[in-house]
C-alpha cells in the first residue's frame, strides 16, 4: 500500500515514518510512505500557505490553492481510495477503521494546521475526515503518524507473526488478555499455572475469559 502525507512540517514526522515497523514495511516492499511539503505548492514568494479568515474570526486558515494543487498532482499519477483530513471533529479513529484502511491500496492524509483548512477543500476534495481523539493538537502530523502506524502494521507480512495483530487490544471489541514471559517466578510473582500447562484449548479459554473480564472492568463501553 502507499500513504502520501501532506504537511507543512514534514521534518516533524520524517524520523517516525522511517523507523521501526513502518521502516520494516518499506524495506519489505509492502508499504510506501511519502511526505509532501505543502509549501512546495505555494505561489507565494514567502511560501505561505495560510491567510486570515473571512468574517473576522481568530487564527489563520490553510488556503485552498496549495492543497488543491498538491492533491491534484498526486491524483494525476494514481487513483486514491481515500483522501483523509485529520480533524478533531472527524469520525473517531479506532481499530476497526485501521483494519478497513489497511485493505486499501493508496491513501492521502492531509495534516490540518493553524485554525484549520478552507472549508471548500473539505466540501469538494476530502473524502473522509478522521480524529484520533476529542482534543485539539497544534497540527495533524501526530495524528497522521498514529494512523499510518496503526494501518501499516496490519498489512500482511509486515509483522513477523501476522497472528500477533489479531490478538491486539480492540480486535473484536475486547481488551487483550494479560501476557507474561520468563522467568515463571520473579520475586514470588508467578505466571498463572494455566499458561505453563501446554493445554492449548484451556489456554485459549483462559485468554477469552481474561479479555472479557478486563474489558467489562476497564472499558465496559466496548461491550455495549
Residue 133, annotated as binding a ligand: yes
How far, rounded to the nearest angstrom, does the alpha carbon of residue 98 sit from its chain's CA centroid? 7
d(CA 176, CA 179): 9
Residue 166, annotated as binding a ligand: no
Q: What share of the chain is helix, strand, coil (3-state, %, to 5)?
A: 40, 20, 40
Residue 50, annotated as binding a ligand: no
Q: Let me know how many helices (H) and strands (E) the chain has, helices first.
A: 8, 9
How far, rounded to the nearest angstrom, does the alpha carbon of residue 139 sit from its chain's CA centroid? 14
Residue 137, annotated as binding a ligand: yes
Residue 132, annotated as binding a ligand: yes
Residue 112, annotated as binding a ligand: yes
d(CA 38, CA 216): 45
Residue with cell 512546495: 40
Residue stretches of the annotated binding site for S-adenosyl-L-methionine: 112, 132-137
Binding site per annotation, positions = 112, 132-137
Amino acid at each position: 500500500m502507499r500513504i502520501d502525507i501532506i504537511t507543512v512540517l514534514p521534518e516533524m514526522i520524517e524520523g517516525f515514518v522511517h523507523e521501526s515497523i513502518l521502516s520494516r514495511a518499506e524495506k519489505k516492499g509492502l508499504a510506501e510512505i511519502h511526505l509532501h511539503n505543502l509549501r512546495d505548492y505555494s505561489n507565494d514568494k514567502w511560501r505561505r500557505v495560510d491567510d486570515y479568515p473571512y468574517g473576522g474570526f481568530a487564527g489563520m486558515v490553510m488556503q485552498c490553492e496549495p492543497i488543491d494543487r498538491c492533491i491534484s498532482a498526486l491524483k494525476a499519477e494514481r487513483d486514491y481510495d481515500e483522501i483523509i483530513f485529520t480533524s478533531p471533529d472527524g469520525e473517531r479513529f479506532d481499530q476497526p477503521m485501521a483494519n478497513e484502511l489497511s485493505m486499501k491500496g493508496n491513501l492521502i492524509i492531509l495534516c490540518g494546521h493553524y485554525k484549520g483548512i478552507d472549508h471548500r477543500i473539505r466540501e469538494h476534495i476530502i473524502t473522509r475526515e478522521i480524529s484520533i481523539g476529542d482534543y485539539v493538537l497544534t497540527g495533524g502530523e501526530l495524528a497522521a503518524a498514529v494512523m499510518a502506524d496503526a494501518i501499516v502494521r496490519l498489512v500482511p507480512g509486515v509483522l513477523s507473526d501476522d497472528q500477533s495483530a489479531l490478538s491486539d487490544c480492540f480486535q473484536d471489541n475486547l481488551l487483550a488478555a494479560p501476557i507474561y514471559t520468563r522467568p515463571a517466578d520473579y520475586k514470588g510473582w508467578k505466571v498463572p499455572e494455566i499458561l505453563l500447562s501446554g493445554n492449548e484449548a484451556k489456554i485459549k479459554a483462559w485468554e477469552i475469559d481474561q479479555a472479557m473480564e478486563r474489558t467489562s472492568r476497564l472499558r465496559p463501553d466496548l461491550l455495549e
